[in-house]
Chains A and B, each alone.
Chain A
Amino acid sequence: MASLPFTNDIRTLRFLAGEMTQGELGDRVGVTRQTIAAIEQGKYSPSLEVAFRIARCFDKPLEAVFQWTDGNS
């Protein structure tokens, strides 16, 4: 499986949000706990809508949650 060209800080942001669980974040975003886990582990690339919903849950801009890593613009 090819790795995604971006990483995310969802685990850290959940910790900073009072140890929010994957299930709680999933409920707020409208996806399952398994999907949040897959996103965190880089096994699933979320849609733009879900990415924005995750960022809004933490009251952060999108680029504070997801970071492009492969050097290409």
Chain B
Amino acid sequence: MNFREKTAWLNAIAPLAAYTLYFGLILAGHPAGREVFPMLWLFGSIAIAHAIIAMVGTAILWAQAPKSERARADERDRAIHRRGATIAYYVLLVGTTIVAVYMPFVTSGVPLANAGLFAIVASGLVNSVVVLMSYRRGWHG
């Protein structure tokens, strides 16, 4: 497994773990599901932890990778990431439409904000999974 594929795994697992914890706590009744400041604290903490894990993990993978694998992304890498971003865009579009067009009629405040965050996180995860699958199984760019 090369550097870019390992990075794709990191980019799939780190947000999955971080936001499973965040939304799991909310579903379990954490005040972040109802009140603004607990939500901002919990989300901020988890987002910062996720960012640190992603940066440190990428730095470790980069340091361990052979020099030849650290080269700039080539056309296949760019095609794979373009495909991931394109599919994730539609997930974000659907999620944002639900959150911004439908949900204001049935809820408001923190639940609405959390639904928006879920749409963003879900689209990011779809992006990561598509990129990962493309590296593992091949994808005609």
Q: Which residues of A contact B (CB under 8 A)?
A: 1-2, 4, 23, 30-35, 38, 41-47, 50
B5 to chain A, nearest CB (A): 8
Q: Which of B7-15, B30-38, B47-55, B72-80 contacts A (4 or more CB under 8 A)?
A: B72-80
Chain A nearest Cβ from B28, distance in angstroms:
40
Which residue of chain A is the closest to B138 with respect to CB atoms? Answer: A43
B60 in the interface, Cβ–Cβ < 8 Å? no
Contact B76 A35 (CB under 8 A): yes
Contacts of B75 in A (CB 8 A): 31, 35, 46-47, 50
- On chain A, the residues within 8 Å of B69 by CB distance are 32
8 tightest A-B CB contacts, nearest first: A43-B138, A31-B74, A35-B76, A45-B140, A44-B76, A32-B74, A35-B74, A34-B2
Q: Using a CB-CB cutoff of 8 Å, which residues 86-141 of chain B contact chain A?
A: 137-141
Question: Could you say which interface size class chain B belongs to?
Answer: 10 to 19
A44 and B138 contacting across the interface, CB-CB below 8 Å: yes
Closest to A4 in B: B140
- Subset of 19 A-B contacts with CB under 8 Å: A1-B137, A1-B138, A1-B139, A2-B140, A23-B68, A30-B74, A31-B74, A31-B75, A32-B2, A32-B68, A32-B76, A35-B76, A41-B138, A43-B138, A44-B76, A44-B139, A44-B140, A44-B141, A46-B76
Chain A's nearest CB lies how many Å from the CB of B109? 45
Is there contact, CB below 8 Å, between A45 and B141?
A: yes
- Complex CA gap A31/B71 in Å reads 9
Nearest CB in chain A to that of B137: its residue: A1
- Taking A31-B75, A45-B141, A46-B76 as given, write out 16 further A-B residue pairs in contact, using a Cβ cutoff of 8 Å, ordered by the A residue number: A4-B140, A23-B68, A31-B76, A32-B69, A34-B4, A38-B76, A38-B138, A43-B138, A43-B139, A44-B76, A44-B79, A44-B140, A44-B141, A46-B75, A47-B75, A50-B75
